[in-house]
Chains A and B, each alone.
Chain A
């Protein structure tokens, strides 16, 4: 399996990053390198191996259902580019 320019265009769009033509060429090359590594691993017999969701041999710790976070809206909104009436303002999204 190998990646084409079209695939890179699509991935870049999904990730909302703008790439120059040179960068696209480089990513086609680099990402194909990663896929080649995956191909290599594909050759290993994993018949008795379960999928690994996480590299640590640990399980999720749970927290008690308690409200521990006070309202810090002013601090958070102090670093926002635009706020009004307690809302964060962003460029208009049209549905």
Chain B
């Protein structure tokens, strides 16, 4: 039987604030345990939470970026459960009235088509602490530095139909949160964590199958693999005559499988209710306007503009809008050299390859945008051929100075003087009478041989187009 997969994602993204969502403790990553956990984070008696304005501002920016409704009035609720890294016995979250309502993002499918994925809601909440299960004489160690860190939980509609779509959506959300500066999106540090709800149903069936929830996935690759495994597992269960159980599962990357978290089988009953310690959050028009006034052009809009105004291909436009820093770099190079296509080719080609190889981000590139523009200018004025330009690029990457300095130091100037090239050609023709005869007798393939000889004689510096042109004329005799 052909099965259809249905996937929805819940993404927890850490908001880029200095202090916690309800306290003035720092949120910096990597501090010694419990040095950033104050009385409020510890849930000591008598403390009261006070909401961080910046967390609200960042949530509003996200909502606006995905064209969602921003709730004029939203409410914080207590989600009750017991776990040692949750000191209060409840997590402050939002339930019935979240700050961000329904919105949507667009993902690109493998065939190039766009598909809209609905975002049901996004709400503000606090993170829990961290349990360390290493051996402390049979006890568990608790670090509450992370407790109270502001999170935006972004809940999607069950709109995805394959692991690829789920990954494309997750990447899209990751791109947006970084683009608009609400989160660093650092997955190693847990700033972007995904839970996936997944079920299967016979192709054509309307109602959803029973879903399993895979918790706490922290990489796109693991997301794809966990979903692939889970689809196969659910198909096996159903085709084997069984039923999928609604449960929480964990993905084990080492064994590449998902496993039931048996301890959580007790049906979750969080008994949400409005938190009496917090008043309703009201977002008025002024706050909304101020929070979103400086929202940058969003990646989808920028990609369209690159295609339309710069005539870039789909591929180039996508690649160059992968991050805001890369897009800015491209725009700077394109503006300086006046040839967007040339800029796109070099950034998407040699520069990206070199960055990947060195494991660097565009912000760490040893060649600045103006440096690359300087190199492209020497291609445009025909000082450099494409091949020489690659040599200059490598020298610039290695820190040997800007394009002009490298050209001068290495004598890499392209030879464009017609008479100089003709002198080289005459010498090659004189030295290879046999080949000339064969060529003239119709062995066209030998043309490449002559080009190679001339280029070698010029130490690779002769302008290749001129060599082609002049050789043809000379060999025609």
Contact = CB atoms under 8 A, between A and B. Distances in A.
A58 B75 CA distance: 12
Interface residues of B, number: 54
Nearest to B55: A65
B309 to A, nearest CB: 37
B52 A63 contact: yes
A58 B276 CA distance: 12
B140 A77 contact: no
A59 B281 contact: yes
A62 B282 contact: no
B226 interface: no
A41 interface: no
A84 interface: yes
B25 interface: yes
Interface in B236-262: 261
A86 B144 contact: no
A45 to B, nearest CB: 22
Interface residues of A, number: 36
A92 interface: yes
A88 B34 contact: yes
Contact of A82 (B83, B139, B282): B139
B191 interface: no
B143 A87 contact: yes
A62 B56 contact: yes
B279 interface: yes
Contact of B132 (A61, A67, A72, A87): A87
A89 B140 CA distance: 5
Contact of A90 (B26, B140, B271): B140
B25 A67 contact: yes
B289 interface: no
A23 interface: no
Interface string B174-204: 0000000000000000000000000000000
B17 A65 contact: yes
A16 B33 CA distance: 28
Interface string B30-60: 0011111111101010000011111110000
Contact of B36 (A58, A71, A89): A71
Nearest to B81: A14
Contacts of B26: 67, 69
A64 interface: yes
Contact of B140 (A16, A62, A67, A92): A92
A53 interface: yes
A72 B144 CA distance: 13
Contact of A65 (B40, B54, B84): B54
A46 interface: no
Contact of B263 (A16, A89, A92, A95): A95
**Which of A10, A54, A82 gathers the greatest number of chain B CB atoms within 10 Å?**
A54
A8 to B, nearest CB: 14
Interface of B: 17-19, 23-26, 32-40, 42, 44, 50-56, 73, 75, 80, 82-84, 97, 131-133, 136, 138-144, 261, 263, 269, 271, 274, 276, 278-282
19 contacts: A16-B82, A54-B274, A54-B278, A54-B280, A56-B279, A60-B282, A62-B51, A65-B53, A67-B25, A68-B24, A69-B40, A73-B34, A76-B34, A77-B34, A84-B136, A86-B32, A88-B142, A89-B142, A93-B133
Interface of A: 10, 14, 16, 53-54, 56, 58-69, 71-73, 76-77, 82, 84-95
The 8 closest A-B pairs by CB, nearest first: A68-B24, A87-B141, A65-B54, A62-B53, A69-B38, A86-B33, A59-B282, A60-B279
